[in-house]
Chain A
Amino acid sequence: MDDFKVVGKSHPRLESAAKVTGQAKYVDDYVLPHMVYGMILRSPYAHARVKSIDKTRAEKVPGVLKVLLPEDMPDKLFNCSGNPPSPLLIEDERILTDHPLYMGDRIAAVAAVTKEACREALDELIIEYEELPALFDVDDALKEDAPLLHPEISGSNVVKKIEAEQGDVDKGFEESDYVFEDTYYTPMIQNVSMEPNSCICDYTFEGKLNIISTSQTPFQERRVLAKLMGMAENDVRITKPMMGGGFGERQQLHNQHVGAILSKSVGRPVKIINTREEQMYASVVRHSARITLKIGVSKDGYIKALKAKAYYNTGAYTTHGPTVVAAGSRKVNYRIPNYLFEGYCVYTNSPVSGAVRGYGNPQMTFAREVMLNTIAKKLNMDPIEFKMKNHVRVGDKLPAASAPLLSCAVEECLNKGEEIRRRIDEEEARNSSNNDTDIKEAWGTAFCCHTSGPSSKEGMSSSVVLINDDGTANLLMGSADIGQGSETILGQIAAEGLGIDLKDITITAADTKFTPYDTGTFASSQTYVGGNAVFLAVKDARERIMKALARIYETVGDDIVFENGRFVVKSPDKNCELTFKEAVSKVTFGQKGVIITGSSSYKAEEAPPPFAICWAKVAVDMITGSVQLKHIIEAVDVGKAINPEFVEGQVQGGVSMGIGYAMMEQIEIDKKTKKVLSSDLINYEVPLTLDMPEIHVYIADGYEPTGPFGAKSVGELATVPVAAAIAIAISNAAGEEIKKIPITHSYIAKGLRA
């Protein structure tokens, strides 16, 4: 099986040269003829009623073409999420509103010939607000007398309660020798994609809407937008050009609806680029969470029952909320006979939560891993041994899941990761001159799993491969490369399947006019879901070639096989071998000529979890409480790595996001002024070069039978266990369990003083 020619090799990204020379075109780099600019007036209050808007002066600003107010919008509620249709996606937001529910809510929009004129017009809009009480904490929102954010949706501020269950937890706790309970807290964080949310919307005289935008889910965005605009899907085209990251925040409509209506109003293309400030307070954040876990174990260290009660702060609108909570329930990498997850998705006037790398899992994994570490210590067991004793293996099912695992290389991850850890310790012991007894060093280890495609098994993708007459191929696919490298990965899968080189494949992707449907870039889908679609499309093309060869060689189809990238014709009198290119040239022209295309429709039947183990080594200054993060090791089972260096890059990047989550990132809201303080990249810190420890990555030699060439996924996985590993390491060094992130310096110093 390991005889791959393209798969398993670390090809550089296909678009690398364009990116290093500055030629790669992102949304803001496009200039369309007659294009103008759009800007959005966002609520300065977390909760208010707009009493009046006077647009007279704004309309008089030279260069202003249109000022749009809430009353100019279609009277429709929608859900901006880029998930496939689901009753969980409650429709509760408007394009522009006179009842803003968070600081950043859209109130008005302008189009003007220059950005300066847009800004001036926004300044000249005279708006009278009535400020209303705002709720930021889930606890406040759940109080019986709390004002309701959406009384029309729910009789309380709970949007949805999500449950997942297996066995009987009460019975499980009765059978346990020890039962532990504790509560953990995780923060709201920002995606901080380097490229801000951007779109150019062009409503043409023919009644077509063309959009170039930062989009992870162009087909879902098209569906939601077409409905909002009262248009047919064939009249709406969304194209995703080069994209500066996503991490979840473009798994939804951002400003495309405003842009579309502005463009329709002025008859010219309208470009809207969020400022970084808008990104910080008005694009989606990770749900902050309060999670109470109750875990029952036997004396000999087996988990008997786990009950989770998790409150996720979804902010002012539903968007992804319930699906994030549900996703959080499904990623438990332990054998737990009795499992009950109760998740509450709660409205507040905080920034709107949505999809952020990990989608509900980092919160649960932080709580679970920290608590299991504490339990192991109380049982006098080594935490790694305790976790491995309960960890799922091939043939097991994740709690509340239906299908048994076909792959799980957790032992290899553990053994190799431990080897790296020992090597680091030995090296540091040899070179160490640290006699400072106030500095305590320790390791912490966390385990996790994630998913390959939506864990709800809603992943779908399709692909079309057009074989050129010289045996090269044009691959059309719906999946959106947002910087992670999926076009290269899917190109590698196609090249391997056709027995040609990667350079012989030209890719067109993520354009709703030219490429087939794909659920979207989220849930770490692209390699597994998109990859299976490509795998099947090239298989379809191969089979058509085999049929054509059978006609030419006057043999039956069974006598022709595709082996090691070649067609082998095995009839008794006419044995021969043809390369893909030879075969194509043979079947394309001539009396029996055929045009070769291949297509697929793939619907995920599984969403196999990839697994990770993360080790963190810290040095804590016991006097000042300062923490130096020295090493992170992450060992991953991603199935077959289609492009090992891409996997490594995803892990390294995921680790850096995990470090931010653990140690510095948090959207802060000032309780007095009710303003988001984290409105720029100074007041909201993200890891920079000097914040980074040494990162060591190990990729297990995994194989997932249902994946394309054995692949699972990696994108989100890498971020998930990092915060827990760091928290555990600091706990192990400083001697006190950490139940809340981010573990900022003041937090540790306070703990040490206590």
Chain B
Amino acid sequence: MGNQTSHIHIYINGKEYESDISPNLTLLDFLRENIGLKGTKKGCDSGHCGACTVLLDGKPVNSCMLLAVQADDKRVTTIEGLNGGGKLHPIQQAFIEENAVQCGFCTPGMIMSAKGLLDKNSNPTDLQIKEALSGNLCRCTGYTKIIKAVKNAADKLNNEEKHSKLEEK
């Protein structure tokens, strides 16, 4: 295993990276240690807590349970990829407004799971939200405000879409 490396080519938050890495490096460690994107958190390193959730080709995954080589030629979105141009993403904004953040350690993973849901379902029910977040452990909030924040985010995104459609017209 020692000196063996694998070459990967990966798009992270829209940016292209090429790297020679150890084949047993997890995607989480690759993001945190090699790329320096520390927003994705390591809570258990065994796929149980969801703190390390990122989007892989748009789908939420536990980045601790994937090898970085499995993300070869794929698109990865992390929490750092959501906000841009000095503006928060509506999901981030909603988490602040609803006070859905306490210690904040589960927050990046929660937000990425929420994004995975809202990208494919713009009007989720409470149950659908709970199901989509059921792999994300939070010990602080009891989830109530997090679920409220996802609903608030859905409204924000739907309004944004309405506005942009109006503008198009």
List the interface of chain A (C-beta within 8 A of B).
10, 12-13, 15-26, 28-29, 191-196, 242-245, 247, 273, 275-276, 482-485, 645-646, 648-649, 651-657, 680-682, 686-690, 692, 695
Contact of A681 among B49, B79, B142 (CB under 8 A): B49
Please, how many angstroms separate the alpha-carbon atoms of A726 and B80 in the complex? 41
Q: Within 8 Å CB of A18, what residues of B?
A: 104
B137→A15 contact, CB < 8 A: no
21 pairs, CB–CB < 8 Å, chain A vs chain B: A17-B88, A19-B101, A21-B39, A22-B78, A28-B38, A29-B38, A194-B41, A194-B51, A194-B137, A195-B41, A196-B43, A242-B103, A244-B41, A484-B102, A485-B102, A649-B99, A649-B145, A655-B142, A689-B133, A689-B136, A695-B144
A243→B103 contact, CB < 8 A: yes
Q: Within 8 Å CB of A482, what residues of B?
A: 103
Nearest neighbor of B102 in chain A, beta-carbon distance? A483
Q: Within 8 Å CB of A12, what residues of B?
A: 96-97, 99, 101
Nearest neighbor of A646 in chain B, beta-carbon distance? B99
- Residue with the highest number of chain A CB atoms closer than 10 Å, among B111, B137, B140, B141: B140
Contact of B142 among A19, A22, A692 (CB under 8 A): A692
Nearest neighbor of A11 in chain B, beta-carbon distance? B99
Q: How many Å from the CB of A723 to the closest CB on chain B?
A: 15
Contacts A680-B48, A682-B48, A688-B137; A649 near B80 (Cβ below 8 A): no
Q: Within 8 Å CB of A29, what residues of B?
A: 38
Q: How big is chain B's contact interface, by range?
A: 35 or more
Contacts A22-B39, A195-B105; A657 near B137 (Cβ below 8 A): no
Please, how many angstroms separate the alpha-carbon atoms of A220 and B110 in the complex? 34
Q: Within 8 Å CB of A682, what residues of B?
A: 48
Q: Within 8 Å CB of B43, what residues of A?
A: 194-196, 244, 276
Q: Within 8 Å CB of A244, what residues of B?
A: 41, 43, 103-106
B140→A653 contact, CB < 8 A: yes
Nearest neighbor of B112 in chain A, beta-carbon distance? A22
Residues 75-97 (chain B) with a chain A CB within 8 angstroms:
78-80, 82-83, 88, 92, 95-97
Residues 99-153 (chain B) with a chain A CB within 8 angstroms:
99, 101-108, 111, 129-131, 133-147
A681→B44 contact, CB < 8 A: yes
A276→B102 contact, CB < 8 A: no
List the interface of chain B (C-beta within 8 A of A).
37-46, 48-49, 51, 78-80, 82-83, 88, 92, 95-97, 99, 101-108, 111, 129-131, 133-147
Q: Within 8 Å CB of A649, what residues of B?
A: 99, 102, 140-142, 145
B111→A20 contact, CB < 8 A: yes
Nearest neighbor of A684 in chain B, beta-carbon distance? B48
Contacts A21-B39, A194-B137, A649-B140; A689 near B104 (Cβ below 8 A): no
A686→B137 contact, CB < 8 A: yes
A21→B92 contact, CB < 8 A: yes
Contact of A25 among B38, B101, B138 (CB under 8 A): B38
Please, how many angstroms separate the alpha-carbon atoms of A573 and B144 in the complex? 58
Please, how many angstroms separate the alpha-carbon atoms of A12 and B142 in the complex? 17
Q: How many Å from the CB of A177 to the closest CB on chain B?
A: 42
19 further A-B contacts with Cβ under 8 Å, apart from A13-B102, A20-B111, A194-B43, are A12-B96, A13-B101, A21-B82, A23-B39, A192-B139, A194-B137, A242-B103, A244-B105, A245-B139, A276-B48, A483-B102, A485-B102, A645-B99, A646-B99, A649-B140, A652-B141, A656-B143, A689-B143, A692-B130
Contacts A244-B105, A692-B142; A20 near B96 (Cβ below 8 A): yes
Main DSSP-derived SS at the B contact region = loop
Please, how many angstroms separate the alpha-carbon atoms of A655 and B92 in the complex? 25
Nearest neighbor of B140 in chain A, beta-carbon distance? A653
Nearest neighbor of A273 in chain B, beta-carbon distance? B42
Nearest neighbor of B104 in chain A, beta-carbon distance? A19
Q: Within 8 Å CB of A275, what residues of B?
A: 45
Nearest neighbor of A276 in chain B, beta-carbon distance? B44
Q: Within 8 Å CB of B102, what residues of A?
A: 13, 245, 483-485, 649, 653
B99→A10 contact, CB < 8 A: yes
Give the top 3 A-B pairs by smallest Cβ distance, nearest first: A22-B39, A483-B103, A244-B105
A20→B145 contact, CB < 8 A: no
Please, how many angstroms separate the alpha-carbon atoms of A195 and B145 in the complex? 20
Please, how many angstroms separate the alpha-carbon atoms of A206 and B161 in the complex? 59
B44→A657 contact, CB < 8 A: no
Please, how many angstroms separate the alpha-carbon atoms of A657 and B139 in the complex? 7
A680→B105 contact, CB < 8 A: no
Contacts A242-B104, A245-B103; A688 near B139 (Cβ below 8 A): no
Q: Within 8 Å CB of B41, what residues of A?
A: 26, 194-195, 244
B144→A483 contact, CB < 8 A: no
B96→A17 contact, CB < 8 A: yes
Q: How many Å from the CB of B98 to the closest CB on chain A?
A: 8
Q: Within 8 Å CB of B144, what residues of A?
A: 652, 692, 695
Q: How many Å from the CB of B43 to the closest CB on chain A?
A: 5
Q: How many Å from the CB of B34 to the closest CB on chain A?
A: 12
Please, how many angstroms separate the alpha-carbon atoms of A251 and B116 in the complex? 37
Contact of B130 among A20, A28, A483, A689 (CB under 8 A): A689
Please, how many angstroms separate the alpha-carbon atoms of A247 and B140 in the complex? 9
Q: How many Å from the CB of A747 to the closest CB on chain B?
A: 24
Q: Within 8 Å CB of B95, what residues of A?
A: 16, 20
Q: Within 8 Å CB of B141, what residues of A?
A: 649, 652-653, 656
- Residue with the highest number of chain B CB atoms closer than 10 Å, among A195, A242, A243, A654: A195
Q: How many Å from the CB of A578 to the closest CB on chain B?
A: 34
B99→A21 contact, CB < 8 A: no
Q: Within 8 Å CB of A13, what residues of B?
A: 99, 101-102
B139→A193 contact, CB < 8 A: yes
Please, how many angstroms separate the alpha-carbon atoms of A681 and B64 in the complex? 14
Q: How many Å from the CB of A28 to the closest CB on chain B?
A: 7
A20→B103 contact, CB < 8 A: no
Q: How many Å from the CB of A707 to the closest CB on chain B?
A: 22
Please, how many angstroms separate the alpha-carbon atoms of A644 and B83 in the complex? 29
Nearest neighbor of A279 in chain B, beta-carbon distance? B44
B103→A194 contact, CB < 8 A: yes
Q: How many Å from the CB of B17 to the closest CB on chain A?
A: 17
Q: Within 8 Å CB of B129, what residues of A?
A: 689
Q: Within 8 Å CB of B45, what residues of A?
A: 275-276
Q: How many Å from the CB of B57 to the closest CB on chain A?
A: 20
Please, how many angstroms separate the alpha-carbon atoms of A532 and B6 in the complex? 58
B142→A195 contact, CB < 8 A: no
Please, how many angstroms separate the alpha-carbon atoms of A692 and B144 in the complex? 9
Nearest neighbor of B93 in chain A, beta-carbon distance? A20
B38→A22 contact, CB < 8 A: yes
Nearest neighbor of B91 in chain A, beta-carbon distance? A20
Please, how many angstroms separate the alpha-carbon atoms of A646 and B102 in the complex? 9
Please, how many angstroms separate the alpha-carbon atoms of A604 and B80 in the complex? 43
B140→A680 contact, CB < 8 A: no
Contacts A28-B42, A29-B38; A688 near B101 (Cβ below 8 A): no
